[in-house]
Chains A and B, each alone.
Chain A
Amino acid sequence: MYEHDVIVVGAGGAGLRAAVAADEAGADVALVSKLHPVRSHTGAAEGGINAALQEGDDWELHAYDTMKGSDYLGDAPAVETLAQDAPEDTIKLEHWGMPFSREEDGRVSQRPFGGLSYPRTTYAGAETGHHLLHVMYEQVVKRGIQVYDEWYVMDLAVSDEDDPNERDCHGIVAYDVQTGNIEGFKANDGVVLATGGPGQAFDHTTNAVSCTGDGHAMAYRAGAPLEDMEFIQFHPTSLPSTGVLISEGVRGEGGILYNNDGERFMFEHGYANNSGELASRDVVARAELTEVQEGRGVEDEYVHLDMRHLGEERILDRLENILHLAEDFEGVDGLIEPMPVKPGQHYAMGGIEVDENGQTCIDGLYAAGECACVSVHGGNRLGGNALPELIVFGKRAGYHAAGKDLGEPEIRTGYGDDVEDETDTELPVQPGAAGLGTTDDVAADGGERTDGSRSSSEARSDGGVVADADGVLEQTVEDARGHVDSLMDKDTGVQHAEIRQKLQNAMTDYVNVFRTEEGVKKALTLIRECREEYQDVYVDDPSTTFNTDLQQTIETRNLIDVAETIALGALVRNEFRGAHWRQENQTRDDENWLKHTLISWEDGEPNIFYRPVILEGEEKTYEPKVRSY
């Protein structure tokens, strides 16, 4: 067993920042990550990081833009915290050596991005995330923070009180990818989940193969609700063949979108008469697909993004990386031809429900970065707002987990008296656990909560023993070993790759940019099938050395849980808000839907409830307005 004060799971921007903060607050901290830190997906971020740095700009404008961009589903206390902390935290990156692009006077450059009223996106060429990731890792090395890399975290060790709000998180269980050893990691003060997005739930995504929603699924099964999962951002400019992203920076610098008739459709077809290409992402993604659906797409699939007119010098200065991506992955020279682009799954606005301090309703369990929902992005994230979220809320979660006082949060978490229960949405299938029969079934089940609860409750009925931290952890380790053994022991059945592909196709076909009630129900039915097939999953590779077959099999189980919450959210929210477009209900319904969708895992099935959005900020209330660009 390993033991530390604070254990951070995941070493992308959010995890690294959390670890540095916890270290600064005096904690003994460890990072546990399935990838070596510099391989994390934050490295793929291109466009930049929003912070009100210049005179003429201020945090209030940033907060306002973010609330508007969120389609009024952001919580004002979180949004204001983001806008207030981002400038100092961005400058801190600069002090740590981040090679931001520079102006003539040596100051950091900023550029315009979609949905921003001021050019406040600070950037390092078109590879901002790469630099952020490396700079943060350098700080971790500098501080000598312990890193367990290529350790796959399987589960959280959480006590089993009936009410999740009373549960405690005591640590994690992980296995060493290189050797197959399964070990417990005890966290004396707290566990911070920073496991990134769940993009692999979709077939066409800009996300890395490692983005499998592990943290989401672990927290969910431990009892922390997932919030606003239906809000998935589809980025308007991904390359059609691979999903590789072409940064919004291209449009920020003046890139133009054309349809097959050579029309600048954002204006000519009236999608965004003021902002055109720089309208927010949901607006542009819908516009592109509408063009394709109405027969004005190129090869019936995509549209063109043209940056040739910006001139070679400017492109090389600010967007050089884009030239490489277009060339390497689509065989297109962006200097002499337009680039093909179409919408691709890009970002999850929703995630593990946390407050401004990064804390979930489970004591000692924190989440930060893309796996968390604090909620700053609401229905739609503005470009350049995820990276500041990583550093602002990663820092806060790290501090708080290490015991630093950050004041009382205004955002509430977990099931409580301020929530509204779901009543009457008809579901096509029974979501949640499939077959809880034999031990083998339980271990390979798509939805069992394996956090020590089974045996500690058994212990309780036997003799009233409440498991202590060590007991909970040991039990979780034992469960995890049993789980792995049962997967490895089976030698026939279905392989995860088949289930994963089916799941990805279901989500891409039915829970994409445009959604219908019928389609989402179809998706839920297919997800149910995946869950049932998963009962029969087996791992073919017998090795304990670097068994990626085993790892992907466990990831696939997580994807099933996460995909189900996305589809459930998309079904119950029968309105149109931000990135969530419903064919039957094409208006935003503020009267009924200024609230967050929350889904928690209770007794083997999802429970849906709602919590009102907080629109009151420090000084003012953000009144919902029509979102026009």
Chain B
Amino acid sequence: MSTQQPEQPESQEAPKDPEMRGAESAVDEKEKEDGEIDQTTADKSELEGETVLIKVFRYDPEVEGKQEPRFDDFHVPFEKGMTVLDAVMYARDHYDSSLTFRHSCRQAVCGSDAFFVNGKQRLGCKTQMADLEHPVRIEPLPHQEVVKDLVVDMDHFYDQMHTVEPYFQNEETPDSSDLEEQRQTRENREKVKMSTRCIWCGACASSCNIAAGDNEYLGPAAINKAYRFAMDNREPEDVKEHRLRIIEQEHGVWRCQTQFSCTEVCPKDIPLTEHIQELKREAVKKNLKFW
């Protein structure tokens, strides 16, 4: 394939403050569809052979022309099955090699390409262009500091994940040289299964109003990680209590106001709000013991 003649991206200014940018779009979107699923303006066959327009957020603190946040327009030739990630990759490889975003697996498992697409947190690789209203607006995750273009700083997210001590803490395991595994019932595996699917994409935390207002709130992903261990029968009771104490702290589960926004955006369909509620109940049960 040969490189096409680069098209000059058309630029529009975006709100300067990255926080504002996210908030503004979220409002737009709310008015438009009020939580409904996306309307589709064109089905796949209609788009075949067409060029689709993506409006991509641009910002680079270091490059003079990009210090002022803006949106660039790219016209990308549509192909059947094209995802949002494919579209930004096309724009990068054919029009502007400085367009920057994280991506790797292209199959919804590495969690690196969570973007704010048409006002909603989504994985770029898992979102079909044909399923979106056009033009498609692609921005970095709101409520996170923008490093450059679509890349946000994930350090805070990782720190929160680490706060819940995300590792198995059963020290008394059977001797592995006897090849003796710990028994786990199918039911128990089923119970924790959804929680183990998290790919650390950060979409949930980005969608959560509480997390946006309280930087110390553990956030849905970290609480879900705690759930994954707290509900696993292979860990002993005392460890479970230790975990409940972590999630029960001031900035833990009680902050959640069951708005369900995390559950709505999670690309792995993890019932986050439900898990948080269940941990609240567990915490209450444990506390009752001590009263």
**Does the CB pair A328–B176 fall under 8 Å?**
no
> B-facing mask of A97-130, CB < 8 A → 1, else 0?
1011111111110000000000000000101001
**Does the CB pair A543–B148 fall under 8 Å?**
yes
Interface size on B, residues (CB 8 A): 63
**Does the CB pair B179–A91 fall under 8 Å?**
yes
Across-interface contacts of B235 in A (CB, < 8 A): 97
Q: Which of A57-109 contact B (CB under 8 A)?
A: 87-88, 91-92, 94-97, 99-108
Chain B interface main SS type: loop
A476: interface (CB < 8 Å): no
> B-facing mask of A532-560, CB < 8 A → 1, else 0?
00000001111111111100000000000
B109: interface (CB < 8 Å): yes
B103: interface (CB < 8 Å): yes
Residue in B closest to A180 when the chains form the complex, CB atoms: B62
Q: How far is the CA of A43 from the CA of B104 in the complex (A)?
A: 11
Q: How far is the CA of A323 from the CA of B180 in the complex (A)?
A: 33
**Does the CB pair B110–A108 fall under 8 Å?**
no
Q: Which of A31-39, A287-295, A460-468 contacts B (4 or more CB under 8 A)?
A: A31-39
Across-interface contacts of B106 in A (CB, < 8 A): 208-209, 242-244
Q: How far is the CA of A541 from the CA of B60 in the complex (A)?
A: 11
Q: Which of A457-499 contact B (CB under 8 A)?
A: 495-498
B100: interface (CB < 8 Å): yes
**Does the CB pair A546–B189 fall under 8 Å?**
no
Across-interface contacts of A496 in B (CB, < 8 A): 97
Across-interface contacts of B111 in A (CB, < 8 A): 38-39
Q: How far is the CA of A541 from the CA of B81 in the complex (A)?
A: 29
Across-interface contacts of A35 in B (CB, < 8 A): 104, 110, 112
Given A91-B176, A541-B98, A543-B148, A497:B110 Cβ within 8 A: no
> A-facing mask of B170-205, CB < 8 A → 1, else 0?
100110110111111110010011001101100000
Across-interface contacts of B182 in A (CB, < 8 A): 94-95
> A-facing mask of B120-136, CB < 8 A → 1, else 0?
00000010100000000
Q: Which of B77-115 contact A (CB under 8 A)?
A: 80-81, 92-94, 96-98, 100-112
**Does the CB pair B97–A545 fall under 8 Å?**
no
Given A208-B106, A546-B151, A99:B180 Cβ within 8 A: no
**Does the CB pair A91–B104 fall under 8 Å?**
no
Residue in B closest to A544 when the chains form the complex, CB atoms: B62
**Does the CB pair A95–B173 fall under 8 Å?**
yes
**Does the CB pair B107–A130 fall under 8 Å?**
no
Across-interface contacts of A328 in B (CB, < 8 A): 108, 126
B232: interface (CB < 8 Å): yes
Given A94-B182, A99-B189, A330-B81, A540:B97 Cβ within 8 A: yes
**Does the CB pair A36–B158 fall under 8 Å?**
yes
Q: Which of A136-144, A155-163, A402-410, A567-575 contacts B (4 or more CB under 8 A)?
A: A136-144
Q: Which of A314-351 contact B (CB under 8 A)?
A: 324-325, 328-331
Among A39, A99, A547, which residue has its beta carbon within 8 angstroms of that of B192? A99
Residue in B closest to A495 when the chains form the complex, CB atoms: B97
A178: interface (CB < 8 Å): yes
**Does the CB pair A92–B81 fall under 8 Å?**
no
Across-interface contacts of A583 in B (CB, < 8 A): none
**Does the CB pair A108–B181 fall under 8 Å?**
yes
**Does the CB pair B167–A139 fall under 8 Å?**
yes
Given A104-B186, A540-B97, A545:B105 Cβ within 8 A: no
Residue in B closest to A496 when the chains form the complex, CB atoms: B97
A580: interface (CB < 8 Å): no
B229: interface (CB < 8 Å): yes
**Does the CB pair B189–A101 fall under 8 Å?**
yes
Q: How far is the CA of A97 from the CA of B18 in the complex (A)?
A: 39
Smallest beta-carbon distance B47→chain A, Å: 14
Smallest beta-carbon distance B250→chain A, Å: 23
Smallest beta-carbon distance A506→chain B, Å: 12
Across-interface contacts of B199 in A (CB, < 8 A): 38, 43, 130
A453: interface (CB < 8 Å): no
Among B63, B168, B192, which residue has its beta carbon within 8 angstroms of that of A542? B63
**Does the CB pair A138–B168 fall under 8 Å?**
yes
Given A106-B183, A549-B97, A329:B3 Cβ within 8 A: no
Q: How far is the CA of A241 from the CA of B130 in the complex (A)?
A: 15
Residue in A closest to B126 when the chains form the complex, CB atoms: A328
Across-interface contacts of A101 in B (CB, < 8 A): 189
Across-interface contacts of B35 in A (CB, < 8 A): none
A165: interface (CB < 8 Å): no
Query: How many contacts between A and B, using CB within 8 angstroms?
Result: 169
Across-interface contacts of A87 in B (CB, < 8 A): 179
Q: How far is the CA of A40 from the CA of B177 in the complex (A)?
A: 29
A41: interface (CB < 8 Å): yes
**Does the CB pair A88–B193 fall under 8 Å?**
no
Among B97, B110, B176, B197, which residue has its beta carbon within 8 angstroms of that of A208? B110
Among B151, B167, B185, B197, which residue has its beta carbon within 8 angstroms of that of A106? B185
B147: interface (CB < 8 Å): yes
Given A101-B189, A102-B189, A542-B63, A95:B176 Cβ within 8 A: yes
Among B107, B112, B180, B232, which residue has its beta carbon within 8 angstroms of that of A44? B107
Among B80, B97, B147, which residue has its beta carbon within 8 angstroms of that of A178? B147
Residue in A closest to B105 when the chains form the complex, CB atoms: A208
Residue in B closest to A101 when the chains form the complex, CB atoms: B189
B1: interface (CB < 8 Å): yes
A501: interface (CB < 8 Å): yes
B162: interface (CB < 8 Å): yes
**Does the CB pair A39–B110 fall under 8 Å?**
yes
Given A106-B183, A138-B166, A331-B81, A495:B3 Cβ within 8 A: yes
Smallest beta-carbon distance A342→chain B, Å: 14
Q: How far is the CA of A107 from the CA of B168 in the complex (A)?
A: 18
**Does the CB pair B105–A43 fall under 8 Å?**
yes
**Does the CB pair A497–B93 fall under 8 Å?**
yes
Q: How far is the CA of A328 from the CA of B167 in the complex (A)?
A: 31
**Does the CB pair A102–B186 fall under 8 Å?**
yes
**Does the CB pair B81–A497 fall under 8 Å?**
no
**Does the CB pair A97–B104 fall under 8 Å?**
no
**Does the CB pair A548–B100 fall under 8 Å?**
yes
Residue in A closest to B79 when the chains form the complex, CB atoms: A241
**Does the CB pair A106–B110 fall under 8 Å?**
no
**Does the CB pair B107–A325 fall under 8 Å?**
yes
**Does the CB pair B109–A127 fall under 8 Å?**
yes
Across-interface contacts of A41 in B (CB, < 8 A): 104-105, 110
**Does the CB pair A142–B110 fall under 8 Å?**
no
B2: interface (CB < 8 Å): yes
A565: interface (CB < 8 Å): no
Across-interface contacts of A100 in B (CB, < 8 A): 181, 189
Q: How far is the CA of A330 from the CA of B104 in the complex (A)?
A: 19
**Does the CB pair A94–B181 fall under 8 Å?**
yes
A505: interface (CB < 8 Å): yes
Q: How far is the CA of A540 from the CA of B98 in the complex (A)?
A: 7
B212: interface (CB < 8 Å): no
Given A208-B105, A501-B1, A97:B63 Cβ within 8 A: no
Using a CB–CB cutoff of 8 Å, the interface residues on chain A facing chain B are: 35-36, 38-41, 43-44, 53, 87-88, 91-92, 94-97, 99-108, 125, 127, 130-131, 134-135, 138-139, 141-142, 178, 208-210, 241-245, 324-325, 328-331, 495-498, 501, 505, 539-549
Could you list 24 examples of A-B contacts with CB < 8 Å?
A35-B112, A39-B111, A43-B109, A43-B199, A88-B176, A91-B179, A91-B180, A91-B181, A92-B176, A97-B167, A97-B235, A99-B184, A99-B232, A100-B181, A103-B186, A131-B196, A208-B106, A331-B81, A497-B94, A501-B93, A541-B97, A543-B60, A546-B147, A547-B98
Using a CB–CB cutoff of 8 Å, the interface residues on chain B facing chain A are: 1-3, 60-63, 80-81, 92-94, 96-98, 100-112, 126, 128, 147-148, 151, 154, 158, 162, 166-168, 170, 173-174, 176-177, 179-186, 189, 192-193, 196-197, 199-200, 229, 232, 234-235
4 A-B pairs closest in CB distance: A106-B183, A97-B168, A541-B98, A138-B167
Told that A40-B110, A95-B176 touch, could you supply 11 new A-B pairs with CB distance under 8 A? A38-B199, A87-B179, A91-B176, A91-B180, A96-B168, A99-B196, A100-B189, A107-B181, A209-B106, A497-B92, A544-B62
